[in-house]
Amino acid sequence: MGGVEFPEASRCADGSVETEVLLVDHYGNLISGFCPGTDEAGSSLWDVDVAGHLVPGAKTYGDVGSGDLLALLDSYGHIEVAQRDGSAAQSLGAGPGDPMTMTRKTK
């Protein structure tokens, strides 16, 4: 019996990463198929283009206001798109299989 296979994230020549929404958690967060390496995760923020919206990267939910969308590193090391005090999936109309493009923020 085989395990679950997840789609691989693809790195583009411009440095962006293309992946898709793997799942929506019970909070309505869009969990991506991209897990940045340790050299990228610690000090980097990633902007995410999903469902026709550019979602800004943030370190924590406290960095944005109530109802704002943000892209952040989840507790499993994946980039997720969330909405403070709301459901990103519902607000964006996005779900599993929808494409996501991550772009590493520059300082």
In order along its 107 residues, the chain shows pLDDT tens digits of: 455 566 789 999 998 999 999 999 999 999 999 988 877 766 578 999 999 999 999 999 999 999 999 999 998 889 999 999 999 999 999 999 999 999 998 76
**H-type alpha helices, 1-107:** 38-41, 88-92
- Structural contact between residues 100 and 92, judged by C-beta atoms closer than 8 angstroms: no
User: Would you list the domain boundaries of the chain?
Assistant: 16-104
Q: Would you state the pLDDT for residue 98? A: 97
Residue 3 pLDDT: 56
Model's pTM, two decimal places?
A: 0.90
CATH of domain 16-104: 2.40.30.90
Q: What is the pLDDT of residue 53?
A: 96
Instruction: Give the integer Cα–Cα distance in Å for 54 and 70.
Output: 9
Question: Could you count the other beta carbons within 10 Å of the beta carbon of residue 19?
Answer: 22
**Could you give the angle at the alpha carbon of 89 between the alpha carbons of 43 and 29, nearest 5°?**
40
